[in-house]
Amino acid sequence: MTAHPVDVVSTAPNDAAADPYDAAVGLSATARALYDRGWMPGTSGNISIRSGADAVLITASGLGKGRLTSADTVLVRADTGAPVRPGSLRPSAETCIHLAVYRAFPAVGAVVHAHPPYATALASRRSRAGGGPVRFTDLELIKGMGRSYLDSIEIPLFANWREVPRIAAEVGEHFARPATDPAPALLIAHHGATTWGADLAEASDRLECLETLCQLALLIGD
């Protein structure tokens, strides 16, 4: 796979006074870039940015990511996921998973969910083998996942329940447990990968690193 940098528009997601239009431009541009890489085919995938303390801007549901514009985003309440403005587009069906991440990690400013092929394949293979976290050891790209050391990182793996709120509940329960250094990512079996960071650029970079780690694991024979 040839690597192409994801084109991310700089935004300030944790600044309550940040221009929401700038954030919407960032979401749509990133979605189109991930579509171009084949990681958000068709209408799949979703991206969000925290907007102040009480709201999240997220891509709308059912829209092709290769054609997404800044108008195709929805501002939702951080506590319920309901649109802030009446008559808004319908938010992504996986909004509740994004909100579970934001609740677990107050410093997170952006979340990216996509369907990169190696991450999806490795998660599916691990699920068929009985599940459990996906562990990467000694690979340099572990640093790209927010680690200052190289020994290992574990990415939690969740079942792909038809009821998306059930996935979100399990994500919330998992990250509510004490952990010294939780990974900024998760995998969903037969589904895809989700990463997060302080801003959209960091979350997108981590998705790229996770996909390459999964590719290396499959090549090595993990």
Architecture of domain 20-220: 3-Layer(aba) Sandwich (3.40)
Q: What is the pTM of this model?
A: 0.89
Q: What is the per-residue pLDDT for 222?
A: 54
Q: What is the per-residue pLDDT for 179?
A: 75
CB-CB contact of 141 with 209 (8 Å):
yes
Q: What is the per-residue pLDDT for 12?
A: 43
**Sign of the alpha-carbon torsion through 181, 125, 210, 58:** negative
Amino acid (one-letter) located at 14: N
Q: Domain ranges in the chain?
A: 20-220
Q: Residue 161 burial by CB count (10 A; 0-12/13-18/19+): exposed, middle or buried? A: middle
- pLDDT, averaged per 10 consecutive residues of the chain (222 residues), comes to 43 45 89 96 96 94 94 96 94 97 96 97 92 91 86 94 97 89 95 97 97 95 68
Q: What is the per-residue pLDDT for 21?
A: 62
The beta strand positions in 52-144, using DSSP E, are 55-59, 73-77, 110-114, 134-137
Amino acid (one-letter) located at 91: P
How many beta carbons lie within 10 A of that of residue 20, not counting itself?
16
